[in-house]
Amino acid sequence: MSIKRVAIIGCGIGRSHIVEGYLPHPDKFEVAVLCDLNEARLAEVADEFGIIGRTTSFAEVLADDSIDIVDICTPPGIHLEQVVAALQAGKHVICEKPLTGSLSGVDEIMRVEKTARGVLMPIFQYRYGDGVEKAKRIIEAGIAGKPYVGSVETFWLRTPAYYAVPWRGKWATELGGVLVTHALHLHDMLLHLMGPAKRVFGRVATRVNDIEVEDCASASLQMENGAFVSLSCTLGSQQEISRLRLHFENVTFESNHEAYSPGKDPWTILAANDEVQRRIDAVIGDWQPVAPRFTTQMAHFHAHLEGKGPLPVSTEDARRALELVTAIYQSSDSGQDIALPVGPDSPKYADWRARTR
Ligand SMILES: NC(=O)c1ccc[n+]([C@@H]2O[C@H](COP(=O)([O-])OP(=O)(O)OC[C@H]3O[C@@H](n4cnc5c(N)ncnc54)[C@H](O)[C@@H]3O)[C@@H](O)[C@H]2O)c1
């Protein structure tokens, strides 16, 4: 097994990637370089973890042949250009959410991926943890039965202090609001467990903070599997919770309510009867605990690069989550129920701010 040399670009959430994603795996990763335009922050985080390689130049990172993985943790507005440049430089790439701010941007990345030597993994760390992974295994084993309805709630709190960081709250740099930056995690978790949406009706508004982008949203989904799901998110909740509840014929699942780690145990997993419970026990009875969030996502990425497993999160997954965002914006603007897939003929394919009728 080879140790991959990582360069992290951006020392905000990048610091959490170090703590949760790389330090737990010294046999898999070495954080060799930190890159940030903010020299004080760069020095602080590099000193904290004893990282010798430090630079303010992204180009310098790309030119460094000793770097295997470029981990992009910069503000959303520059993800597209940095992902494309890193892939074109032959690197493996990890990119924080949102991968980018339009479906046309994702499709451009997919075109670059076709000829790239490296592999791109978008971040969706909420998929990892005992609770969500048990639910996934039960559903994939065919035990849950017919899907009925679900609800997905992202009730977080963001105050003016959060928006003091200049890139936040603006279309040009954050690329969107609660749908794009915050609830995207839970919405990906839904799609991960339930599969794609088929029709979407949504409403968005800016009600909590004095910002450009939306901070409240609600949507009604019909999934391809026939289930109805309601999404509800705000950045004005005085108690921060994330909650996903899915009702199937044989099993009801409810996540824990921890805002930033709803994938962890305990999940409520209620079987319709003893026979269903026996089937559940048969598939998760020998459960080996998995670490939540970045710890497991990064471990799976390393395994994939070693040829020992699938890519844990793909650009296709990021596209599916951003397609849902696009459909909600389009529905909110037009008052229409939007049919998926959303393609280049959509008015919002290239730009979420383009007005729709
Ligand atoms: N997965 C999660 O749970 C999670 C949590 C927080 C943030 N994020 C995402 O991570 C990204 C960064 O968010 P953040 O909260 O860490 O932001 P932040 O502003 O705290 O940190 C971003 C850092 O990037 C640096 N930077 C900006 N442009 C740069 C460039 N061209 N080259 C090098 N460094 C540059 C900035 O100086 C800053 O230190 C966003 O896309 C955000 O949505 C994800």
pLDDT score recorded for residue 197: 98
Rounded to the nearest angstrom, the distance between the alpha carbon of 18 and the centre of ligand 1 is 14
Rounded to the nearest angstrom, the distance between the alpha carbon of 85 and the centre of ligand 1 is 17
CA torsion angle 332 166 153 314 (round to 10): 90
* In the chain, domain spans: 4-124+298-312, 126-290
End-to-end CA distance of the chain: 55
Q: Is 209 in the pocket of ligand 1 (CB under 6 A)?
A: no
- Structural tokens at position 84: 């494309």
Q: Is 78 in the pocket of ligand 1 (CB under 6 A)?
A: yes
- Structural tokens at position 110: 């997919």
Categorize the per-residue pLDDT at 250 as very low, low, confident or very high, splitting at 50, 70 and 90: very high
pLDDT score of 1 more than 80: no
Interval 102-125 mean pLDDT: 98
Q: Which H/E stretch holds residue 148?
A: strand 147-157
Q: Is 76 in the pocket of ligand 1 (CB under 6 A)?
A: yes
> Ligand 1 pocket check: which of 33, 36, 79 to mutate, most ligand atoms within 8 Å of Cβ?
36
Summarised one tens digit per residue, pLDDT across range 253-263 is: 999 999 999 99
Interval 62-78 mean pLDDT: 98
Using the structure block, give the residue that is written with the tokens 């991968």.
Answer: 99
212, 169 in Cβ contact below 8 A?
yes
Same fold, 4-124+298-312 and 126-290: no
Say which CATH architecture domain 4-124+298-312 belongs to: 3-Layer(aba) Sandwich (3.40)
Give the rounded percent of residues in the chain with a pLDDT score beyond 70.
99
Rounded to the nearest angstrom, the distance between the alpha carbon of 99 and the centre of ligand 1 is 12
pLDDT, mean over the chain = 97
Interval 350-357 mean pLDDT: 84
Say which CATH architecture domain 126-290 belongs to: 2-Layer Sandwich (3.30)
pLDDT score of 104 more than 90: yes
pLDDT score recorded for residue 357: 58
pLDDT score recorded for residue 355: 79
Burial class (CB in 10 A: 0-12, 13-18, 19+), 113: middle
Rounded to the nearest angstrom, the distance between the alpha carbon of 353 and the centre of ligand 1 is 23
Interval 228-251 mean pLDDT: 98
Summarised one tens digit per residue, pLDDT across range 299-326 is: 999 999 999 999 999 999 999 999 999 9
Nearest atom in ligand 1 to 42's CA: 39
Categorize the per-residue pLDDT at 269 as very low, low, confident or very high, splitting at 50, 70 and 90: very high
- Structural tokens at position 254: 């409810």
Rounded to the nearest angstrom, the distance between the alpha carbon of 340 and the centre of ligand 1 is 31
323, 341 in Cβ contact below 8 A?
yes
